[in-house]
Amino acid sequence: MIRSMTGFGKAACDVNGRTVSVEVSSVNHRYLDCSARVPMAWVALEPVVKQVVREHLSRGKVNVTVNRKRAQTTGQAVRLDRELARQYVDASKELGQLLGACEPLSLSVLAQMDGVFFQEEEDEDLETAKELVTAVVGEALKKLDAMRAQEGQALADDLRLRLSHMRTVLASIEERLPALNERYETRLRTRIEELKSDLSLTEERIALEVALMAEKGDVTEEVVRLRTHLDHAEELLSSGEAVGRRLDFLAQEIQREVNTLGVKTRDADVAKEILGMKAELEKIREQVQNIE
């Protein structure tokens, strides 16, 4: 199933009076780029979180946030960092002298300074935390994957519709090829007669001119290659693999054939059809950028 690279997943688990929650979001990216934010006490688990992501996803800019929340009644004592508080007071006095002000640091302001009051962290059992975090991250990734699959299905349906329109236009152009070839043959014969009237030209030069004109006007190969590319794109959309990069490359090949087809045919009606194909192809290339 085709998957988008955009999605969001969230999961949580309550264990021993503590809630561990994980949020995972992803957007399109050329490769897999994962960043993780974990509580300070679990910083050693950051590589574990990234490894779990790599096991689930192959492309996308992925952000993982792991939070933990303790029960309100933890029984932990609130501590005062006296030395840090003293440093804040001394720094406040020094700032007052520098600015020529005499306004002491109030208790209410000091109490809100970072680190003045803190709760002592209990020793963490990282092995237990690892199992817990791995499970919750995995659950969040499943929900992310479900969202990416749903959006991917919508992308695939849209791409199939656009490819079908391009195939219809190509069939219309192909129907006109006999008439276009006949018109081209008439121009070629006229050119040959003009060349024959120039007595200074050798037979070799005339043959070379004819060969060059024939090559410039024949679009059979472009039509065949373009139809083959469209068929391949349909096959990739039905694949269960991550095909975003291959679709991106294939879209470039399709564009090359469409451009060549437009240059070679030199027909006003076909030119309008080619413009329509280019518009559809531009949308396809935009959509493909978000496919895993």
pLDDT on residue 74: 53
Cβ of 89: how many Cβ atoms within 10 Å? 14
CA distances from 131 to 15, 40, 57, 231 (A): 12, 17, 20, 46
Positive/negative CA dihedral, 57, 67, 36, 134: negative
pLDDT reported for residue 291:
93
Question: Do residues 42 and 133 touch, judged by C-beta distance below 8 A?
Answer: yes
Domains in the chain with CATH codes: 7-74+124-148 (3.30.230), 78-118 (no CATH), 150-288 (no CATH)
The pLDDT of residue 180:
73
Cα–Cα distance, 185 to 179 (Å, whole number): 10
* Residue pLDDT, tens place only, 108-162: 888 888 878 766 655 567 888 899 999 999 999 999 999 999 999 999 999 999 9
Closest CA to 261 of 225, 228, 230, 222: 222
Residues of the chain with pLDDT under 50: none
Specify the pLDDT at position 168: 93
Find out whether 253 and 284 touch, Cβ atoms under 8 Å: no
